[in-house]
């Protein structure tokens, strides 16, 4: 049989049908779930893996696929893949550079409005008690507030456009500033410290890299403006969980909207951490702190769902299919390299 041997870890049944139809020229084995859901699965002839962010692909996983030459990450962020290890083995990795700048930015503002207008509390008191009192439901306007956008890439820029629609004052931090864009959209670049000190709302849109690990941390949380709302739709470990908990307790953060958490992969199956050969005390502590956040009345958490619209998923699948076909035909597309 010709075509490339692909192991495709999928999420939804309709996705399997859709991808199977468009990749009929290739030899695909579909497995529902993540690489971690199949700890004993090995293949000596798989040339490509297609994975979503719920699969971690590091040394141990790569050892199970000895003939691998390509990984198609069905996401923009690819911090779930050990790129150094892949590069050392000559394995190429592609991602989906854009598919949902509006999709993720829309969820960032949904999270912000949940906090600013106490949407969950409003809904809950009517649903649970039939209570139409407004006494504890006073929120705050977005108009006139300063929003600090961390990262002015695809999603950050779309968030800026939405913020301008709310007539907010926008400041941004990005080591690769785009002054023409700032002039065009009417926002101002600042230093990261200045952004922390001035923002009523901080929204994070940077990739997870060594340089962005714990960008908000115990060392700088004290410099954040009191009463700030933090929105994180990027990646959990960009915010040190201890700093978030500390900031909520001392009033630095009025609230938070989080689509991502540190150690979120363990939240559905915490016992997996306990049964690891080398239990990681920091991870366990973070998982416990996540429960504090989940229970906190002014913290809204969604399950890494910012990408999840019909339109965005179709765009993700189409680009991933294109990446797989391009690689199979000898002209790879959307390759990523270690930064
Ligand atoms: P992008 O590459 O277009 O933009 C990232 C921006 O961050 C760039 O402008 C870059 O210069 C900037 N940047 C890099 N290092 C920085 C640093 N140290 N400080 C400040 N800025 C820095 O990416 P994007 O499409 O806007 O996506 C951003 C991130 O959002 C992705 O990497 C991904 O992790 C996350 N994301 C999450 C979801 C979700 O479902 N929650 C969906 C898509 C993307």
| Residue with CA at minimum distance from ligand 1 atom 15 | 206
| Residue with CA at minimum distance from ligand 1 atom 4 | 153
Residue 275 has pLDDT above 70, yes or no: no
Give residue-wise pLDDT tens across range 158-190: 999 999 999 999 999 999 999 999 999 999 999
- In angstroms, the CA 173 to CA 317 distance is 31
pLDDT bin (cut points 50, 70, 90) of residue 276 is: low
For residue 305, the CA-to-ligand 1 centroid distance in Å is 16
The two three-digit tokens of residue 339, written as one number: 């930064």
| Residue with CA at minimum distance from ligand 1 atom 5 | 153
For residue 234, the CA-to-ligand 1 centroid distance in Å is 7
Please give the number of the atom of ligand 1 that sits closest to the Cα of 211: 18
- Which amino acids are annotated catalytic? 235, 264, 304
Residue 109 has pLDDT above 70, yes or no: yes
Q: Please tell me the predicted confidence (pLDDT) of residue 284.
A: 81
Question: How much is the average pLDDT of 303-317?
Answer: 94
Neighbours of 249 (CB within 10 A): 11
Q: Please tell me the predicted confidence (pLDDT) of residue 17.
A: 94
The two three-digit tokens of residue 13, written as one number: 């049944």
For residue 209, the CA-to-ligand 1 centroid distance in Å is 10
Closest to 150 in 3D by CA, of 207, 77, 85, 88 = 207
Residue 264 has pLDDT above 90, yes or no: no
DSSP states along 234-276:
S-GGGB-HHHHHHHHHTTSEEEEEES--TTGGGTT-THHHHTS
Angle among Cα 63, 277, 35 to the nearest 5 degrees reads 40
Residue 277 has pLDDT above 70, yes or no: no
Choose which residue among 234, 303, 339 to substitute to test ligand 1 binding: the one with the highest number of ligand atoms within 8 A of its C-beta: 234
Please give the number of the atom of ligand 1 that sits closest to the Cα of 101: 25
For residue 275, the CA-to-ligand 1 centroid distance in Å is 33
Q: What percent of the chain has pLDDT over 70?
A: 96
Question: How much is the average pLDDT of 48-60?
Answer: 96
Please give the number of the atom of ligand 1 that sits closest to the Cα of 104: 42
Q: Please tell me the predicted confidence (pLDDT) of residue 100.
A: 84
Residue with tokens 């960032």: 108
Q: Please tell me the predicted confidence (pLDDT) of residue 338.
A: 81
Residue 339 has pLDDT above 80, yes or no: no
Alpha carbon of 128 to those of 17, 81, 124, 136, 138: distances in Å?
A: 40, 43, 6, 15, 19
């Amino acid at each position: 049989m010709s075509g490339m041997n692909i192991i495709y870890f999928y999420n939804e049944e309709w996705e399997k049908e859709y991808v199977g139809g468009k990749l009929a020229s290739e030899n695909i084995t579909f497995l529902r779930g993540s690489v971690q859901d199949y700890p004993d699965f090995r293949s000596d002839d798989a040339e490509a893996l297609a994975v979503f962010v719920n699969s971690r692909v590091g040394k141990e996983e790569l050892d199970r696929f000895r003939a691998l030459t390509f990984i198609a990450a069905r996401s923009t962020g690819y911090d779930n893949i050990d790129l150094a290890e892949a590069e050392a083995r000559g394995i190429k990795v592609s991602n989906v550079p854009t598919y949902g700048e509006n999709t993720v930015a829309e969820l960032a503002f949904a999270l912000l409005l949940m906090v600013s207008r106490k949407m969950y509390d409003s809904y809950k008191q009517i649903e649970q008690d039939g209570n139409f009192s407004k006494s504890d439901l006073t929120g705050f306007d977005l108009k006139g507030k300063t929003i600090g956008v961390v990262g002015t890439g695809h999603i950050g820029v779309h968030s800026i456009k939405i913020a301008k629609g709310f007539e907010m004052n926008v400041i941004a931090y990005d080591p690769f500033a785009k002054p023409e864009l700032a002039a065009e959209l009417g926002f101002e670049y600042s230093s990261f410290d200045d952004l922390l000190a001035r923002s009523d709302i901080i929204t994070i849109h940077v990739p997870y890299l060594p340089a962005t690990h714990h960008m908000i941390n115990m060392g700088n949380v004290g410099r954040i403006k009191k009463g700030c709302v933090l929105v994180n739709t990027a990646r959990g470990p960009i915010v040190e969980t201890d700093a978030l908990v500390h900031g909520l307790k001392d009033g630095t953060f009025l609230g938070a909207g989080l689509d991502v958490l540190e150690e979120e992969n363990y939240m559905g199956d915490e016992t997996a951490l306990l049964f690891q050969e080398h239990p990681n005390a920091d991870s366990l502590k973070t998982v416990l702190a996540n429960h504090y956040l989940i229970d906190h009345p002014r913290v809204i958490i969604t399950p890494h769902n910012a990408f999840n619209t019909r339109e965005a998923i179709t765009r993700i699948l189409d680009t991933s299919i294109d990446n797989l076909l391009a690689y199979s035909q000898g002209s790879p597309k959307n390759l990523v390299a270690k930064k």
